[in-house]
Structure 1
């Protein structure tokens, strides 16, 4: 409900802070005192259109702040979370609107910037305004079906209809997807079959690219090792081992040095002369023998190493061919190599869908027909219940019209079937509230047939019947008692009081009978201060309230008779609270 309305620099209002309470709050005051300014200010906070003329003379901008307390299950909580606006269930909701002198405006919800569209959506969940010149809420045909259901349809039945509709929608979606897949597959059947054949022959394996790349790298490294070993062996063991290579060189050097050794049969004198050179030559020969032995050992080691490196010389070529074939296929289909197995499975699935699609579509069509039949059956029960509820709602509203001086009017709840394409989770029909204001007049939409005063009273009658069945916590009636008096005004006041037992009600009234029914009373008046006219609002209680109602009865000259009549009205209003 609305708990606080703060207004700054709005037309004749410089500064005004108004608290509001549960129940029925009446706003009274002489014509032109500024009651409409309060309603216009509230409308701005709720997202209504802003104009530059609302800014008070001498001010640069006007501002309005409206605070609301809501029940934990109010639908606004979900909307705020959906919009990313910080809010905890149970916290107050604060709407602010600022309008500059050039007509531009900005809005916030809980101190976070909000578009005017969002502000209007929020406002529509918080306040419903019924006025002489503007009707909101009940005049909107789009909510009539929900109101009818809230009046006389069990929630369990509506829940079954929503569930049946969801099943039907799900079955239709599955059928549509299956048909789309078959149609797509049919358009590309030749390409699809060729792709499945090619990829099937290629038979890509999971993570095969990485494995092949690792094998390729290992084989390339082995090939480089084999080439190095072969080159080393070629140097050590050339083709003509007798005439070249290090072995031949060592043997030739050995033969040359052997000539330095004394020949057998050499005499003693020659032997003595040759001993010195022979000793050194023998050392060299020994080194050559060692070198030749080491060379032989190196040749043997390299030969064994070369034999260890032997393998299939085609293996590297085959590995590279496989790797390049996988990468070519991946480029062709625009995927990574590792995605090829999944792609093959998908293409096979699409091909299977083409081959067996018609059978599956037939089964899905049967499922859609069964889901539709179940939905229609549930809707048949819902329609019957709604038809009964509509008659009861018509009778209940008609019972309220006579005391509101609308005894000649006829209220009708029209239920019309919708074409299948218009069926929703709400059912297979739409509902609209119609009114025939006078005998012989054809019924028509609420907002088009009734006059402003008639429509306001009709809305009041509907609110009495539907009290507590709407999530909107605050109702505003602007001069719902216009053009009536006496018993009719008393009936209006009594019904406003009844509605306020379920929701917060604010009413702008010129009727003392209505004012006397209020739980709270605000008087709107003008005053001149420092040469400037200002609108002010003051809560009334006790004697002040009695004087205000007496003024409404008698005019400017308040008489004792008027005060006595005010006492009588106040006493009648107080009886409701006992």
Structure 2
């Protein structure tokens, strides 16, 4: 719901801050005072193209801002969250701001963050619906018409069933297209089989390849390793010549003889005992390593050949050796898929036929519900069109089957709202109705008949009462007020019968200051409303009769 609208240096308005509440708000004023400026401002905040002509003469820029309460706008809340333009501190509100410069440029913000005009359009489409101008009219869109009809018929369950069936059918079609695009896969199967056989000849698991590298390095340096082990064994514990073991034994013997005179030498002997144990363990480890070493040319050559084969496979597949096992597994999976492709294609044809039948069944159920809703909506709207001064006019909903054989999540048909404004005229699409006044009244009739089920929280009717008067004007006002029970409604009007039905009332007044025309927008108190209605009834001169009639209009409001 629109809660606040701010205008600065906009057209003939120097500055205005307007507060809005629920129900019907009417806006009146003298001809040329700028009543429709509020509608124009909301249109620009909705993403309409702007030019420098909207900037007040002599000003550098015009500034427009609108605040919305999102309690009744779930779709807008979801959009803001997905676009990451929501305000965490005030999640239940939204502020749209736009600045238009005198040079024609403009900038826009949503909740204080820079936004594109396309984003303004998407968000405003979920918040505001402007009736009366072709380019603003959401009901002219066939997509919006279908959405309104579905809302009127409460077809949520049927539409969900169609969407699920369409998704299942589409997935099967994509799978068939992917398999069919492969064509004759026999050559690829042979090629992949050859690759798999090459890879399967080797143990390519990463731990096996690591062990291969270690064995190859050990055998490649076997001679040097044997020499190093023999030399170390001789120096640590050899029988010929001095060795560490023999030296440690001799030292301990000599210290044992002297330790009776110096007890602390016992500690030294304990350390040497530990050293002797460590040397003995080192000798045992050397013996184990030496026994594993073998200068075997055949074994080394076998390791060389295996390592060469692994590196050749890595070059062939352009992968590091430790990634070959992953490539082998991927080839095996693809081979299994290709070998089963023919059988899968045969099964897919049956599955697709069943999915198509399921979609058609769900679409038929939805189509039946839509036609039932269309009859009721057409009857109610036609009756309201007659009440709104277009006697003999009719409203109908035309159905057109969807072209093509692809699954459509929206169902099996499209709809078009058809209107005949005068008796004897053939129905034409609503989007081709030429008269702005007729279009506004027809839109009003549709909205009232559907009780605002299109989910847009704020509806604006610009000059909806053009070309009518008397009893019809009174009925238009009543319908607008009734619509205001379900939606926030703003109406620019020049008829007192319509203005009297408002829950609140703004007047736009024009004045001149130092030769410059400017407009002022002001909320009217109850007494001021009576004066404004009298002016609308009697013109410049406010007679006693005009005031009495204005008072009666306000008293007759139910």
Structure 2 vs 1, CA of residues 341 and 15 (structure 1 numbering), >3 Å: closer, same or farther?
same
Rounded to whole Å, the distance in 2 between the matches of 1:303 and 1:494 is 109
Which of 127-136 and 185-194 deviates more?
185-194
Rounded to whole Å, the distance in 2 between the matches of 1:147 and 1:40 is 25
SS state at 1:405 partner = coil
Rounded to whole Å, the distance in 1 between the matches of 2:34 and 2:288 is 112
SS state at 2:556 partner = helix
Match of 2:17 in 1: 17
When the two structures are aligned, how many residues end up with a matched partner?
509
Deviations 1:554-576 (A, max 9, x none): 00011111111101111112x2x
Rounded to whole Å, the distance in 2 between the matches of 1:309 and 1:162 is 72
1:527-542 matches, within 5 Å, as 527-542=511-526
Rounded to whole Å, the distance in 1 between the matches of 2:511 and 2:111 is 34
SS state at 1:202 partner = coil
> Are 1:456 and 2:440 matched, yes or no?
yes
Match of 1:432 in 2: 416
Match of 2:39 in 1: 39
> Are 1:331 and 2:296 matched, yes or no?
no
Q: Is the 8 A contact 1:27 1:506 kept in 2?
A: yes
TM-score (norm 1): 0.82
* Offset, 1:11: 1.6
Structure 2 vs 1, CA of residues 223 and 16 (structure 1 numbering), >3 Å: closer, same or farther?
farther
Q: Is the 8 A contact 1:27 1:523 kept in 2?
A: yes
Match of 2:485 in 1: 501
Which of 552-561 and 153-162 deviates more?
153-162
Structure 2 vs 1, CA of residues 392 and 191 (structure 1 numbering), >3 Å: closer, same or farther?
same
Deviations 1:212-242 (A, max 9, x none): 2233334445442135578999xxxxxxxxx
Q: Is the 8 A contact 1:401 1:461 kept in 2?
A: yes
Which of 546-555 and 138-147 deviates more?
138-147
Match of 2:462 in 1: 478
Q: Is the 8 A contact 2:27 2:505 kept in 1?
A: yes
Match of 1:415 in 2: 399
1:27-176 matches, within 5 Å, as 27-71=27-71, 74-88=74-88, 90-132=91-133, 134-176=135-177
SS state at 1:412 partner = strand
Rounded to whole Å, the distance in 2 between the matches of 1:6 and 1:85 is 21
Rounded to whole Å, the distance in 2 between the matches of 1:483 and 1:314 is 108
SS state at 2:395 partner = strand
Which of 478-487 and 320-329 deviates more?
320-329
* Offset, 1:414: 0.6
Deviations 1:531-572 (A, max 9, x none): 533211111122111000000000001111111110111111
Match of 1:401 in 2: 385
Q: Is the 8 A contact 1:27 1:507 kept in 2?
A: yes
Match of 2:209 in 1: 209
Deviations 1:184-221 (A, max 9, x none): 84463443232122222235224433332233334445
- Of 524, 540, 544 in structure 1, the residue corresponding to residue 528 of structure 2 is 544
Q: Is the 8 A contact 2:391 2:422 kept in 1?
A: no
Q: Is the 8 A contact 1:423 1:429 kept in 2?
A: no
Deviations 1:504-539 (A, max 9, x none): 000000000000000000000112335533211111
Listed as ranges, the gaps of 5+ residues in structure 1 are 234-245, 248-301
Rounded to whole Å, the distance in 2 between the matches of 1:5 and 1:40 is 12
Which of 202-211 and 305-314 deviates more?
305-314
Structure 2 vs 1, CA of residues 61 and 214 (structure 1 numbering), >3 Å: closer, same or farther?
farther
Structure 2 vs 1, CA of residues 197 and 218 (structure 1 numbering), >3 Å: closer, same or farther?
same
TM-score (norm 2): 0.85
Rounded to whole Å, the distance in 1 between the matches of 2:467 and 2:162 is 45
Rg (Cα) greater in structure: 1
* Offset, 1:58: 2.2
Rounded to whole Å, the distance in 1 between the matches of 2:289 and 2:516 is 112
Rounded to whole Å, the distance in 1 between the matches of 2:290 and 2:54 is 100
* Offset, 1:442: 2.6
Q: Is the 8 A contact 1:2 1:67 kept in 2?
A: yes
Q: Is the 8 A contact 2:497 2:553 kept in 1?
A: yes
Q: Is the 8 A contact 1:6 1:64 kept in 2?
A: yes
Rounded to whole Å, the distance in 2 between the matches of 1:137 and 1:304 is 89
SS state at 2:87 partner = coil
Rounded to whole Å, the distance in 2 between the matches of 1:104 and 1:135 is 22
* Offset, 1:454: 1.0
SS state at 2:497 partner = helix
Rounded to whole Å, the distance in 1 between the matches of 2:204 and 2:287 is 40
Which of 534-543 and 24-33 deviates more?
534-543
Structure 2 vs 1, CA of residues 440 and 210 (structure 1 numbering), >3 Å: closer, same or farther?
farther
* Offset, 1:322: 2.3
Rounded to whole Å, the distance in 2 between the matches of 1:556 and 1:18 is 26
